Structure 1
């Protein structure tokens, strides 16, 4: 890791199947390589020694922050604000210390809550009883015990796995731990490598391997084919969507619908857009969605520019002047992020 840092880089973070395939095609088949994934831990910071993340869930579409046991008993990351049942666990020393309605397995007591809650509410509910927490699953035997006792096997249940991250703290959007199920992290889930041959991600302990360093370019977000220009990154959509979808899509990738601040920026966009298509921009009600002032405009010199109440705006084909349009109409769109500046929610 320090050798990468000496180069101004970091151990590689693999954030998509495309990046995984790129690495696989460029690595020597018979060698293992370190990657930059952090230890996988439970909410109390203890390292996971067992997981059951299903091989079909290679995309951590919600950043690997909150996990549920879904209907087929695999562990799946999901939106932390979703409503699910949950399982509380309390570790007990040997003795009849479980409550009358608790279930016991080994040295722990379990409560299966059938009131659906968000992840944070479930966590607080469990922790309202001293020593109790969202369940930490440490073995295949414990997994099987829970599977056999879930009151409703058609529903998801929150578990206490949280924040599977890379070394810089960023959440996983993709994994290649292997399948069909990841069973045991035989070396404590502390350090991970790309194994020879399959290039699955396996944990390991204190061995010497080759390694891959990575350095992020200024425009290296979650979207492919971003374009850098004058301190901003731009993404040009392939599909048509309504204004609100376009706005949400950009924000989900930590960008905003484009704010155009000069003739030079307008000219740059003109050279990158299909002049047969419309494109949503981040202008709404004569103000930019990111809060910047309107210091430049490209409204046409005719009255039809504001014939839809000036609520949502797009760039019209041919020289791309700005017209207002019904926000429910479908157009392409342009996302923008100023490098080094946070996007605006």
Structure 2
């Protein structure tokens, strides 16, 4: 079906800017609650006894969860409140927004077709308009003049086209404008308008966009608006009235006790002297902002051995991923050549761990697409089972194939539409990759004595993830097929004309530098794998990502890991001779041990001697 786009020209185009933001998220402590309740009941329980249902800002948060808790799925604080978008335009972070303003509707006008919006397959986040004037959800105050564009584009490409040549995609705020736009649409055509939304919000209102969905989630069957996590810390959407155990969070307010040894001729029992010392300690602390980047030097008048402890404490607080600096390279190269350039001149092609990284990019660089370090190496999955991070894995082990056995149907796997990451067994005994949200019958298996497998055909149709859950609860797992004999045995269980899930899946896209970060910032329509050869990632001028053919040429972004050096001035009072190399080396060793105990295992310390001024 052809999709067209509309845009309008306004007298005064809206001005937009992308501020550079550095944000530190609060420290959280997590609590598993072994009660089976619905998502709203879990939210109520957590708010009454803790802070809220669990929010996760990064993989570090997930890694703090206890690994020995037994459950299938547990509620977390992520949800997609349908009241904010399903029956009204809404005014929440997951409500519908107009591309021209980035804001929710001011008038509340809407003209949805019957049954829309429906967020089908958890992918319909943009709005189409039909000739009849009704709106549909799809995949990807000035006097306005609307213009029809017949070129077929994705929503994001249409948005860029309109912003480059006009003002933006059409913003329709009343019936008169809707009628005007309707007259421009040819019979039988559907066209993009500027309406879109960003689903999924945290219960505690956190602005974090971190998400770590399982490879086949979210799949949204029409009423799955709440999110749960499995024991692998991967997320799936689920009906909010289902009952599950859950995870609460408590935002931790931190306080620290620092032991200090001070040498002073003043009477430290004097309240006035004590108050002065406390004030000087507060001054020292205030010179280090939340980002832990010193902004000015400070000294204490007291001779103290506490500077070492205080500095070590700050480093422990601020342990984080290595800081990165990004570099735009204005050369048009293929992805492979861009990767080679970045590795020779910097660290690698750009990697992004979160929105803070993206906000570090310059906002005044002009380009359509620029390569980043994300890619889906086809050598790992297209012609062989592979052994890479994006290769095919078996559900039962979470690992790549040990035998390398495969029996793909012609032209499979093809990752069609950029969404096919689960595998079915056709009735011709061959495999094919399809979307994990499809409903199919499936094959479970058990392991008998001497590691012999016993397979079971289940006729009930489920999505891949639901089939996996069923098999794990009632058998061992979805079928793992490691040779031709097992494949024939499984195929023999299936009725004629039936396709069935097996336990093969993969997680596409990984970073050039080998990072395991799962942060993604795709456009609302991507990735699409259009033409079957889009295996490399690029970002547009809105810093949203798209998949591209790796052999095309684009400018690109490199990153450089920054090594930080801190100079700490210390005055040490001791009877030992600090000019003795053995004593100074021992003191450095103690400092290194202190840093290592607080997580800075790669920190290197050395003395930098400075001449003393006369009289000191």
Q: Which has the larger radius of gyration?
A: 2
- Would you call these one fold, judging by a TM-score over 0.5? no
TM range (shorter): 0.3 to 0.5
Choose between structure 1 and 2 for higher RCO, CA contacts under 8 A separated by at least 6 residues. 1
Q: TM-score, normalised by structure 1?
A: 0.41
Q: TM-score, normalised by structure 2?
A: 0.25
Q: Larger helix proportion, structure 1 or 2?
A: 2
